[in-house]
Amino acid sequence: MKISVFTVMLPDCTLDRTVELLSRNGYDGVEWRFTKSDRAKREETPSFWGNNLSTVQSDASEEELVALKRLTDDAGLEVPNVAAYIQSGDLIATERAMRAAKVLGAPSIRIGVPGYDRSRHYADLLKEAREYLHETQELSRTYGVKGAIEVHFGNIASSATLARQLVDGFDADRIGVIYDPGNMVYEGFEQYKLGIEVLGDYLAHVHVKNAVWQKTNAAMPVSVGGAGGAVSSEQAKPHDPVWRAAWAPIAEGIVHWPQVIADLRAVGYDGWLSFEDFSGSAPSETLLRENIAYIHSLL
């Protein structure tokens, strides 16, 4: 398997600095964050989803993309995926990202999935999403770039099984799935090997991160009557969640990466493992050095 970094985790690193650090620390590739930065945030402190300096602008010119391709090539880095931020159904943004990926030499882009917030029925969202995937598949045939949905909490592909249901029947050379067990700590957990087997040929890429569950400061409802006693009216009222998920260092969260790696090997996966560490547990360069050492110890 090859190792890369999704650059969302390097908000304080410019594109040049990102390439330098990845090359120095022995990475095989760089998965670029691809979106249009909010100009209003460019004076803010660097952050994952705000002023992220390691972002390829979605309106970059072809000349700028060619220069970036030259930079990564000179550093010996591949671009396994362009991690675009695309709304499901946005074919203009999808085509723009595929054009950029073709210039950068990336075989795939991340594409959108409808969110799920209880306001619309799953069946309606699934129908719309599959219509979008059908159009994306046609674009993929034109550009030779695969469209990959990501297993992600908060949308209709929060588990490997749900992701397979969404992509089932499409050409696996054109439409794929980014497997992300870290996201499944938040929502959608399944046994790793089961999920990987369910995805089958649709498994296109793997994101590496971790998370834990933490107690919140929510007030616990007070019961009366002791064990087995009646439930008080106060206890029956809605209350804030008592637990919440939070990001954690790669080796210290709920995801047991030794097992994930073993299960990926068992099904013959030899593709990319791409770090997306949101723990903030150390400076960027330290995380790059420690994360790759950890994952290499498992391979």
Q: Are strands 29-35 and 82-84 parallel, antiparallel or unpaired?
A: parallel
- Domain annotation covers residue 194: yes
CB of 5 closer than 8 Å to CB of 22:
yes
- Domain annotation covers residue 230: no
Token pair of 93, please? 């943004």
Q: Are strands 210-215 and 243-248 parallel, antiparallel or unpaired?
A: antiparallel
Asked whether residue 7 carries a pLDDT value surpassing 90, the answer given is yes
- Number of domains composing the chain: 1
CA-based nearest residue to 96, from 59, 144, 69, 146: 59
Q: What is the CATH number of the domain that holds 139?
A: 3.20.20.150
Asked whether residue 181 carries a pLDDT value surpassing 70, the answer given is yes
pTM (2 d.p.)? 0.94
- Domain annotation covers residue 240: no
pLDDT, one tens digit per residue, over 64-115 is 999 999 999 999 999 999 999 999 999 999 999 999 999 999 999 999 999 9
- Domain annotation covers residue 202: yes
The more confident residue out of 39 and 168 is 168
pLDDT of 260 reads 99
Domain that holds residue 88: 2-214+245-298
The residue type found at 278 is F
Q: How far apart (Å, rounded) are the C-alpha atoms in residues 294 and 271? A: 18
CA dihedral 143, 97, 199, 253 (to 10 degrees): 150
- Domain annotation covers residue 226: no
DSSP the chain: -EEEEEGGG-TT--HHHHHHHHHHTT-SEEEEEEE---GGGTTSPB-SSSB-SSEEETT--HHHHHHHHHHHHHTT-B---EEE---TT-HHHHHHHHHHHHHHT-SEEE----B--SSS-HHHHHHHHHHHHHHHHHHHHHH--EEEEE--TTBTT-SHHHHHHHHTTS-TTTEEEEE-TTHHHHTT---HHHHHHHHGGGEEEEEE-EEEEEE--PPPPPP-SSTT-PPPHHHHS----SEEEEEE-TTTSSS-HHHHHHHHHHTT--SEEEE------S-HHHHHHHHHHHHHHH-
Residues 6+ apart with CB under 8 A from 262: none
- Domain annotation covers residue 235: no
pLDDT, one tens digit per residue, over 245-293 is 999 999 999 999 999 999 999 999 999 999 999 999 999 999 999 999 9
- Domain annotation covers residue 71: yes
Q: How far apart (Å, rounded) are the C-alpha atoms in residues 218 and 68? A: 48
pLDDT of 217 reads 87
Residue 252: burial class (beta carbons within 10 Å; 0-12, 13-18, 19+): exposed
- Domain annotation covers residue 239: no
